[in-house]
A and B are shown apart, each in its own frame.
Chain A
Amino acid sequence: MEIIIFKIFLVLALFLLSITIAAYSTFSERKVAAFMQDRIGPNRAGPFGLLQPLADGVKMIMKEEILPASSNKLLFILGPAISMVTALMASAVIPWGPDITIAGTKVHLQVADINIGILYIMGVVSIGVYGIMIGGWASNNKFALLGAVRASTQMISYELAMGMSIIAVIMTTGSLSLGNMVTGQSGWHGMAWNVVLQPLGFLIFLICAFAETNRTPFDLPESETELIGGYHTEYSSMKLGFYLFAEYINMFLSSAVISCLYFGGYNFPFMDIVQQNTGEILFAFICFLVLMTKILFFIFFFFWVRWTIPRFRFDQLMNLGWKILLPLSIINMLITGTIILLNQ
């Protein structure tokens, strides 16, 4: 019973965390953008502009809700709903810290430690494409449709290379569970991170993560300069807000997955020494903070790249995905397999 209450509490906490991080990502995106362009950025709402997400949210809700007359009403509403729900669902398998004891039983600090965690994430993220595709199609607008077609093409293309690079990690870990993948990286005093063992795989996964979240340089689905707003051209009010929000939650999720797969999740250098000297709850809390630091760094990295690299052309995008990343990820898989075979 206590465990169920704890899990419900965890779900709620995770929901709030995702929403808060997404809201403050919008703020910090603007802030980081401004800083990188030698500006200051929003600083009027509250101290340092910290209430800006609130103001943006109020603005989004107060705006007029427009359903285009020629749109398919049901699908038009379904689009952002799918995007938001899948974005929120996927973080359920992220391990937030080592096991803690509650009412005498060991509990994973994870909403659901299913043994196919990484497959679950891949699956849920793939459903997210439907949100964009349906939204773009239902808008009955050529820009929205073009954006939606671009989004689905891009996401399907890059999912392949992403999956292949994950397979290499699965081969070294021997498990599909994210919890096992993270605990598998706790060797060498918590420094046996997969990024050391799989540098090429990490690079491929990172590039694919950018493409999957529709972030620059892969933001072709919503490229404002070419397609007005891409798939969300016709959207207004909170439905638009949901699309934008889902993108930021996806970014949070991608950062969490990158941290867990390649940067040791909640493992940190000399964690075994820290573990011996601190209590269980405190240690779990430190681990959680370490993971959050890694996630926040990668969210920052997303912003950082956005203001560095310009957008790809569509044929360049397809070339990179199919002719470079996919073969590279297969080669990476082959090398990993050979090394594992030779070590046996």
Chain B
Amino acid sequence: MQSLTNRSKLVSNKKMTLSERLYIPAILAGLRITIYHFFKKKATIQYPEQQKIHSKIYRGKHVLKKDEQGRENCTACGLCAVACPAEAITIVAAERKKGEESLYREEKYAAEYNINMLRCIFCGLCEESCPKDAIYLTEIVAESNYDRNQFIFTKDMMVEDTETKGRIDVSDRRNGIRQGAV
């Protein structure tokens, strides 16, 4: 029978030779391995000071994009919520009133946009399903918390803060999705 991994080894019950029964050569070989690891480069990343470099298409915390004029892209169509395999997204839609044209790009917008980060599996299907370029996953690591309620990320935690923090660059992910690479 062909094995799955080609890593299986034949087991034999042969009598151990004298040098094997002494165990000392085996112990010395073991000591050699541990001392090799002693001088090996360490894998640790000292987290708060050092941070791991993410790949360009890393899937982290979500961002709700705005367009060039600072208007929210999201029209609360609900496709992301449907696409979400973890059912993490809930949207409450509302109609844009007169005078709010500078806030929302189209006539319908998301009054509430909640993502339950305890459910979210960071698969990125929401951004793939979005027809309005509104939601993207960013390189930002979703922050941890002690309180379960704090894991439901509301709209104000995710919408791009263009006035104070500037735009979040998602061009790598956008291009990746268009080329089918992500």
Contacts and interface: CB of A to CB of B under 8 A. Distances in A.
Q: Do A and B come from one complex?
A: yes
Interface of A: 32, 35-40, 43, 203, 304-305, 307-309
B31 A304 contact: yes
A308 B34 contact: yes
A308 B31 CA distance: 6
A319 to B, nearest CB: 12
B18 to A, nearest CB: 13
B52 interface: no
B98 interface: no
Given A40-B44, A305-B27, A307-B34, 16 more contacts: A32-B38, A35-B38, A35-B42, A36-B35, A36-B37, A38-B37, A38-B44, A39-B43, A39-B44, A40-B46, A203-B24, A304-B34, A305-B31, A308-B31, A309-B27, A309-B30
Kindly name the residue among A39, A304, A308, A309 whose own CB sees the greatest number of chain B CB atoms within 10 A.
A308
Contacts of B44: 38-40
Interface in B39-82: 40, 42-44, 46
Kindly name the residue among B27, B34, B42, B46 whose own CB sees the greatest number of chain A CB atoms within 10 A.
B34
Nearest to A37: B37
Contacts of B43: 38-39
Given A304-B34, A304-B35, A38 B42 contact: yes
A203 B22 CA distance: 12
B78 to A, nearest CB: 47
Nearest to A32: B38
Contacts, number: 36
Secondary structure at chain A's binding surface: helix, strand, loop or mixed? loop
Nearest to A40: B44
A38 B31 contact: no
A300 to B, nearest CB: 10
Contacts of A307: 34
B37 A308 contact: no
B81 to A, nearest CB: 42
Contacts of B34: 36, 304, 307-308
Given A40-B42, A40-B44, A35 B31 contact: no
Nearest to B39: A35
A35 B37 CA distance: 7
A36 B34 CA distance: 6
A32 B31 CA distance: 13
Contacts of B30: 308-309
28 contacts: A32-B38, A35-B37, A36-B34, A36-B37, A36-B38, A37-B37, A38-B37, A38-B40, A38-B42, A38-B43, A39-B42, A39-B44, A40-B42, A40-B44, A40-B46, A203-B24, A304-B31, A304-B34, A304-B35, A304-B38, A305-B31, A307-B34, A308-B27, A308-B31, A308-B33, A308-B34, A309-B27, A309-B30
A298 to B, nearest CB: 14
Nearest to B37: A36
A318 B159 CA distance: 68
A35 B46 CA distance: 15
A33 to B, nearest CB: 10
